[in-house]
């Protein structure tokens, strides 16, 4: 059974990566990065780095976010077991998307090559027929 953490209108599954939980809270409450930074009194640049996973959420910021969104601050604190699983899943999802795109590109190229090959074969047949007729 997956435990749920509910904050106002936001439902967050247990094990959700802290940054994903933050993005969900922001989206559900209609907050932009700028608005949230101003509302909780934090640096907008740091918030941007957090949302792009270049910077972790400090315990102090987790406490501010927990108070602001009326949610358990632990939602915004990285659990290494969850993080590794989540990061691995995210990495695999990115890899899957990349490989599917590459495969699609190759399949498209193959279809184009087959089309060109068929046209060249028809042209070659026409040229050979014309040579026979001469």
Local structure of 6: helix, strand or coil: strand
**CATH class for the domain made up of 4-78:** mainly alpha
Count of alpha carbons within 13 Å of 12, Cβ hemisphere only?
Answer: 29
pLDDT on residue 12: 84
Position of tokens 């967050």? 12
Tens of pLDDT, residue by residue over 77-95, are 876 555 555 556 776 787 7
Is the predicted pLDDT of residue 10 greater than 60, yes or no? yes
Tens of pLDDT, residue by residue over 14-50, are 778 899 999 999 999 999 999 999 999 999 999 999 9
What average pLDDT does the chain have? 85
At 21, list the tokens.
């939980």
At 77, list the tokens.
């604190």
Task: Report how far residue 14's alpha carbon sits from residue 89's, in angstroms, rounded to the nearest whole number.
Answer: 16
* Domain locations in the chain as residue ranges: 4-78, 83-134
């Amino acid at each position: 059974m997956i435990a749920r953490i509910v904050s106002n209108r936001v439902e967050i599954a247990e094990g959700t990566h802290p940054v994903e939980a933050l993005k969900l809270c922001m989206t559900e409450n209609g907050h932009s990065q700028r608005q949230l930074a101003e509302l909780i009194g934090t640096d907008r640049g740091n918030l941007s780095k957090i949302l792009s996973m270049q910077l972790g959420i400090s315990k102090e910021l987790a406490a501010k976010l927990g108070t602001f969104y009326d949610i358990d601050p632990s939602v915004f604190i990285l659990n290494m077991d969850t993080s590794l699983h989540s990061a691995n899943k995210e990495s695999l999802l990115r890899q899957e998307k990349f490989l599917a795109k590459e495969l699609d590109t190759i399949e498209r190229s193959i279809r184009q090559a087959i089309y060109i090959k068929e046209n060249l074969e028809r042209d070659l047949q026409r040229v050979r027929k014309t040579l026979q007729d001469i």
